[in-house]
Amino acid sequence: MPTPTPLAGYKSYKNLPQLAGLCTVEEAARPGLSVEECVRRLKRFHYCFKRLHQILTARITAEPIYELKTGFAHHAYLCAEHVSALRTRIGEMREPPLGLEDVPHPALEAFFDEILNAPMTEELLWGAYTTAIPALNRSIDDYRGETNPLSDAPSRRVLRFASLELEDIGRWSWEVVFNLVDTAKQGAMRPWSRILEELLVAAGGIDGQSQPVAYASGSDLPRRYSAKPYQYDPVPRRDERFSDPWNQGVNAESFLYNEKFPARAKALMMLYKRLREIDVPEMMASIITQTPGKPWGYYRDMTRQLWDEARHAMMGEVGFVAFGVDWTKAKITLNWSYRLNTECTPLEAHGVLYFIEQGLMPKTGKRYEFEVAQESGLPLMATLQDFDWADEVLHSQIGRVWYVPEFGGLKESLDYGDAAWSRILSNWSTVKEQGLTKHENWWPAVYEMACAAEGVQPDPVVLAFDETYEGKRADLKDVSEGVSG
Ligand SMILES: [Fe+2]
Ligand SMILES: [Fe+2]
């Protein structure tokens, strides 16, 4: 019989959990990875999360399917948070200079370049979600299993959280791929999928643990889509449920700030304003993607705001569904993100966003919307607007940190946004003349639907509302905005 090792026989005082509950003494007595090896692998994970953040952000604008747009916004944000956590952890590991912006291996770079450049949504889903993310999670699992659970507890904690969220993303993506990428499409993608695998092998895997395959030079790496440099597509696209995307036929702000209308009807109009905010992720993705060279904190904060705005849109969706309204009948426009993305520089677009969000802070802004929501007697509305307001206060801070310092002071920064916005004249007539929209007044139909679901008669005064954005600049300057925030 083998004699028990001193480790196995070791007992803590009154059998209390050993080592503060991290693991057993026996587990902690196994040597693990060196600090140098940990840093090397963590830097690779950091690089992967950074590239995934970049890829998912860049694909939000031109992706037509709303559920994918919001999914990309969510996952880009999660990746940004894990980048931040890994940066902090690497900085704690005896590693100046950190070299966090370095590419760990040219083949790993090519692997992510291929996914970024993938022309079809199906390929993006395949590359990012069924190839890169599971491979990253496997490497993180290996690290968690190999490192010493006591000495390297801070890294294991960071990676445990990352892994948890990668698994959530994985569950989302399986359902998405199952519904959107049939076997014929999967078959057609096989040759490209093999290139991705080859690149991963060439990189020695995500963590560089396997023997990398030597290529004479970086230019010998197999590349298909990334043979040409990446071109960001700034034109927002929507799926078929957004059936009249140039419609500026219902002036929501004019309704919202008119004292003669009841709070309950205003609540409905606010849901329209929330859902319309799907244009903010579209324009923020454009700013983030086209503003290189900022400190990492910029990308993290801007991505947080982008994700909040996607949530605001989904809050609108939830409200409409809860109140028995088919939201596709409220014509959700993309006019604003389209114009900012195609007519403004990223800094100008940021200026317009900041200018509008500052306009949301005073009396006519988010507090007012919250009060109307409370007055409406719909508890869900109050919840939605309460958090919408809180998020907006955060966005104002983000603007103060990353936008205002580009200028001499607050006034100059606001003037810059105001001027950029003024340059974009109303296109109300142009889009009508081009036959893109008739600016149909969708309000009565939506209002009647909500009344029917509630079992009440429509109020004739509310039903008769018929004010468009014709001739109005779309912001809160004269309470005639058609914008999001
Ligand atoms: Fe918002
Ligand atoms: Fe906002």
Distance 478 CA to ligand 2 centre (A): 20
Residues 404 and 304 in one domain: yes
Q: CB neighbours of 48 closer than 8 A, spacing ≥ 6?
A: 108, 112, 132, 136, 206
Distance 284 CA to ligand 2 centre (A): 10
Hey, how many other C-beta atoms are within 10 angstroms of the C-beta on 131?
19
* 182 within a domain of the structure (yes/no): yes
Closest CA to 224 of 274, 180, 272, 189: 189
Domain with residue 168: its CATH number is 1.20.1260
Write out pLDDT tens, residues 178-197: 999 999 999 999 999 999 99
The whole domain housing 467 covers 252-478
Ligand nearest to the CA of 359: 2
Give the span between the Cα atoms of 483 and 91, in whole angstroms.
41
Distance 32 CA to ligand 2 centre (A): 45
Domain with residue 448: its CATH number is 1.10.620
Q: What is the dihedral of CA 234, 235, 236, 238, to 10 degrees?
A: -140
* 375 within a domain of the structure (yes/no): yes
Distance 70 CA to ligand 1 centre (A): 14
Residues 413 and 351 in one domain: yes
Distance 274 CA to ligand 1 centre (A): 7
* 157 within a domain of the structure (yes/no): yes
Residues 219 and 280 in one domain: no
Distance 466 CA to ligand 2 centre (A): 27
Residues 345 and 379 in one domain: yes
Q: How high is the pLDDT of residue 363? A: 62
The ranges of the chain with pLDDT < 70 are: 1-4, 216, 360-364, 473-485
**Widest distance between CA atoms in the chain:** 92
* 345 within a domain of the structure (yes/no): yes
Distance 35 CA to ligand 2 centre (A): 41
Residues 35 and 154 in one domain: yes
Ion ligand 2 residue ranges (Cβ < 5 Å): 395, 485
Distance 438 CA to ligand 2 centre (A): 29
Indicate the residue among 161, 192, 227 that finishes a domain.
227
Q: How high is the pLDDT of residue 359? A: 74
Distance 395 CA to ligand 2 centre (A): 5
Q: How high is the pLDDT of residue 1? A: 59
Give the span between the Cα atoms of 135 and 200, in whole angstroms.
9
Residues 188 and 316 in one domain: no
Residues 288 and 211 in one domain: no
Whether the Cβ atoms of residue 92 and residue 320 lie closer than 8 Å to each other: no
Give DSSP secondary structure letters for 46-94: HHHHHHHHHHHHHTTTT---HHHHHHHHHHHHHHHHHHHHHHHHHHTSS
Ligand nearest to the CA of 393: 2
Residues 139 and 287 in one domain: no
Ligand nearest to the CA of 302: 2
Distance 470 CA to ligand 2 centre (A): 25
Distance 460 CA to ligand 2 centre (A): 33
Cα first-last separation, the chain: 72
Indicate the residue among 183, 211, 227 that finishes a domain.
227
Please list, residue by residue across 299-329, b when 16 or more beta carbons sit within 10 angstroms of its beta carbon and e when fewer do: bbbbbbbbbbbbbbbbbbbbbbeebebebee
Total structural domains within the chain: 2
What does DSSP assign to residue 250?
A: -
Write out pLDDT tens, residues 354-395: 998 887 666 668 999 999 999 999 999 999 999 999 999 999
Q: How high is the pLDDT of residue 219? A: 78
Distance 485 CA to ligand 1 centre (A): 4
Residues 302 and 430 in one domain: yes
* 73 within a domain of the structure (yes/no): yes
Residues 214 and 65 in one domain: yes
Ligand nearest to the CA of 395: 2
* 5 within a domain of the structure (yes/no): no
pTM given for the model: 0.95
Ligand nearest to the CA of 387: 1
Write out pLDDT tens, residues 23-44: 999 999 999 999 999 999 999 9
Distance 325 CA to ligand 1 centre (A): 21
Residues 146 and 87 in one domain: yes
Whether the Cβ atoms of residue 426 and residue 470 lie closer than 8 Å to each other: yes
* 96 within a domain of the structure (yes/no): yes
Distance 394 CA to ligand 1 centre (A): 11
* 246 within a domain of the structure (yes/no): no
Ligand nearest to the CA of 270: 1
Distance 314 CA to ligand 2 centre (A): 14
Distance 162 CA to ligand 2 centre (A): 26
Residues 152 and 286 in one domain: no
Distance 144 CA to ligand 1 centre (A): 38
Distance 388 CA to ligand 1 centre (A): 6
Distance 353 CA to ligand 2 centre (A): 8
Distance 485 CA to ligand 2 centre (A): 4
Distance 311 CA to ligand 2 centre (A): 10
Distance 298 CA to ligand 2 centre (A): 16
Indicate the residue among 194, 227, 260 that finishes a domain.
227
The Cα angle at residue 84 between residues 82 and 86, in degrees rounded to 5: 70
Distance 222 CA to ligand 1 centre (A): 42
Distance 309 CA to ligand 1 centre (A): 5
Q: How high is the pLDDT of residue 481? A: 46
